[in-house]
Structure 1
Amino acid sequence: MVATTRGGDSAPGPAPDPGLFGPGSVTWQMHGDPMMWVAGVRALYLQALHPLAVRAVMQNSDFRRDAWGRLMRTANFVGTTTYGTTEAAELAGARVRRIHGMLSATDPATGRAYAIDAPELLLWVHCAEIDSYLHVLRRSGYPLTDAQADRYLAEHRVSARLVGLDPAGVPADRAGMAAYFAEVRPRLAAGADARAVDDFLLRPPTHPLLVPAREVLWRRVAQLAYASLPPYAHELYGRPAPAPAAVTRGLRVTGTLLRGIPARLRWQLPPKHILRAMARLGPGARPAPYKAGR
């Protein structure tokens, strides 16, 4: 039955759910940018440098055979929590917490078992991911002021809560993020697991007919993502750090090329989170860099 007003007009229905972030957030604008894919690969390189975090991945997933699936599941989680309804985002977070709560791993140094949802590990994965998104997009030419960058980090206390972290303990600005990385740096290392991730990202297994595409396209993405890592990460992986100016040029050229692809075409790729959000909220919800400062 349709509700009516006294004059016979239909009463307005409930306002559509903007989700956890909404179209007014910096996150909503940034996560529609195609350089998020390069940033996601950088996050994998960085996350692999925490021995306990990468051991948890290696022992609880078939990373070598299903790395693509893992990358797509991460992208789907980010898309759902950014552009989905509040209910969908909360359900996605609950699913992640439930799975993590059932799993453990063995410390390669001590042989002791540990829970993979330990706050230290969750915080490392979160910070490596969010820092990578912010770093790659800004360095590739995405227009963000320092205040907007801080706002982005503060917004992601929400996504930290979804995976089981206390938002109060999560860096909420660039200064806090820098302090966190300085504090955790002595615990990082490029052991056998990190080198396995490195090897996979440079030479992922693929169908023989797709090897040329892997060499031309994927290798460029992986090399660019690796090149954008902080200097200490290059030192740990044991390869010379490239010249920063050359890396920035590469990121800007790649960003310009990818952003030249019409957004409507890019957003047609499954699972179409952005298009579904625009259908739910209207065309004004379209992500765009110039909206980040609103």
Structure 2
Amino acid sequence: MTSNRPSIRPVPARPREDWGLFGPDSPTWKVWSAPTALLAFQRSIVVESFDPFLAAAVHDQNGVRYNATRRFDRTIQYFLTVACGDSRAAIEASEILMRVHAKASGTEPISLQPYSANAPESQLWIHITGWQSNLLCYERYGPGKLSAAEEQCYWEECRIAAELQTCDPADVPRSRAEVREYYAAMRPRLCVSDRSRTLIRYFLNSQRSIAGTGLWAGSHLMSTATIATIPRWMRQLGGFDQPAWLDAAVVPAARAAVKIAGQPLAARTTLKMMAPSALPVMEQVIRRQQPLRPETLTPSQARARFGRSELRPAV
């Protein structure tokens, strides 16, 4: 019998080693540690579901159907750790993700082609939807647009973060225009299936018995604002469209909620409710915890220092 209780990976308490891959003054740190990240996570995992290969990988592993909290929690923990955690935590999170994804393989039922969650094209899709969703939600519901220099740096840092996944960093877009080109190139591949519809339903309107009270309440409160950021054609294809007037009406309410959620107590409470495994990283951000070594590392430097040798990519 499968338990509906959240299965949370414990995060050991230890001193912060360094500033991680980007540091507290980076646009990545600014965008990914904002309250809008929760909306962005919901958006990104909905958009990801339109890739039939990724939808099959997620659905067939049963994790979301039996424990939606674990999926949401671990996704937020991974991305927040890479963006704002120290380099040891980022490498450890990357290696855990690789091992988990290695188990997700099979046959995609529409094309009858093999799928693998570690396939570079699937990892690239996950990576870009995550980073683009965070910037979009930050702009719409948070402080607004980054400066031109900050945005350029954000996409450069997006490439750096891609080194922790199986995709080629050279394939990562370097600007907003290149992101649009990427989505246009991906559109013929995107579709909905019974699997993706099931996942979208779980992500937008989680069932309390599966998600737990925290994620169940949070997903329902956020879903209108999240849907408003998703392209109309995708919403219609997925069967979760909403009127244009609702898209506009939700903006001031979402901005007000995000402003409240930015307060330390509210941020801790919200994250503890929806993604408790990410809380230790957010605590470091909120407290501006100083590292043992005030430096940033490249992914290759971090992997050489903290990575397991058997999981390092061949040179």
The reply to whether TM is greater than 0.5 is: yes
Cα contact 2:35–2:261 (8 A) shared by 1:
no
Alignment of 1:237-276 (within 5 A): 237-240=238-241, 242-243=243-244, 246-261=246-261, 263-268=263-268, 269=272, 270=276, 271-276=279-284
Cα contact 2:43–2:230 (8 A) shared by 1:
yes
Secondary structure of the 1:156 match is helix
Q: Residue 211 of structure 1: CA displacement?
A: 7.7
Cα contact 1:42–1:226 (8 A) shared by 2:
yes
Alignment of 1:183-198 (within 5 A): 183-198=185-200
Query: Which residue in the other structure is 1:280 paired with?
Result: 290
Deviations 1:254-277, CA, capped at 9 Å, x for gaps: 122232245321343442313225
Could you state the TM-score of these two structures normalised by the residue count of structure 1?
Answer: 0.81
**Inter-CA distance 213–65: structure 2 relative to 1 (3 Å threshold):** closer
Secondary structure of the 1:117 match is coil
- Could you tell me which amino acid in structure 2 is paired with residue 257 of structure 1? A
Cα contact 2:225–2:254 (8 A) shared by 1:
no
Secondary structure of the 2:34 match is coil
Alignment of 1:40-79 (within 5 A): 40-79=41-80
Deviations 1:18-49, CA, capped at 9 Å, x for gaps: 10111121011112211111111111110011
For residues 33 and 174 of structure 1, the distance between their equivalents in structure 2, rounded to whole angstroms, comes to 20
Greater shift, 147-156 or 56-65, is seen at: 147-156
Q: Residue 57 of structure 1: CA displacement?
A: 0.6
Secondary structure of the 1:162 match is coil
For residues 30 and 276 of structure 1, the distance between their equivalents in structure 2, rounded to whole angstroms, comes to 16
Q: Residue 186 of structure 1: CA displacement?
A: 0.9
For residues 160 and 263 of structure 1, the distance between their equivalents in structure 2, rounded to whole angstroms, comes to 30
**Inter-CA distance 149–235: structure 2 relative to 1 (3 Å threshold):** farther
What are the ranges of 5 or more consecutive residues in structure 1 without an aligned counterpart? 1-14, 283-294
Secondary structure of the 2:115 match is strand
Secondary structure of the 2:290 match is helix
For residues 105 and 81 of structure 2, the distance between their equivalents in structure 1, rounded to whole angstroms, comes to 26
For residues 183 and 118 of structure 1, the distance between their equivalents in structure 2, rounded to whole angstroms, comes to 18
Alignment of 1:11-160 (within 5 A): 17-145=18-146, 147=148, 148-160=150-162
Question: Please, what is the CA RMSD of the aligned residues?
Answer: 2.8
Q: Residue 212 of structure 1: CA displacement?
A: 12
Q: Residue 106 of structure 1: CA displacement?
A: 0.9
For residues 113 and 144 of structure 2, the distance between their equivalents in structure 1, rounded to whole angstroms, comes to 46
Secondary structure of the 2:132 match is helix
Q: Residue 214 of structure 1: CA displacement?
A: 4.9
What are the ranges of 5 or more consecutive residues in structure 2 without an aligned counterpart? 1-15, 293-315
Aligned residue among 164, 167, 172 for 2:166: 164
**Inter-CA distance 141–34: structure 2 relative to 1 (3 Å threshold):** closer
**Inter-CA distance 213–28: structure 2 relative to 1 (3 Å threshold):** closer
Q: Residue 102 of structure 1: CA displacement?
A: 4.0
**Inter-CA distance 264–182: structure 2 relative to 1 (3 Å threshold):** same
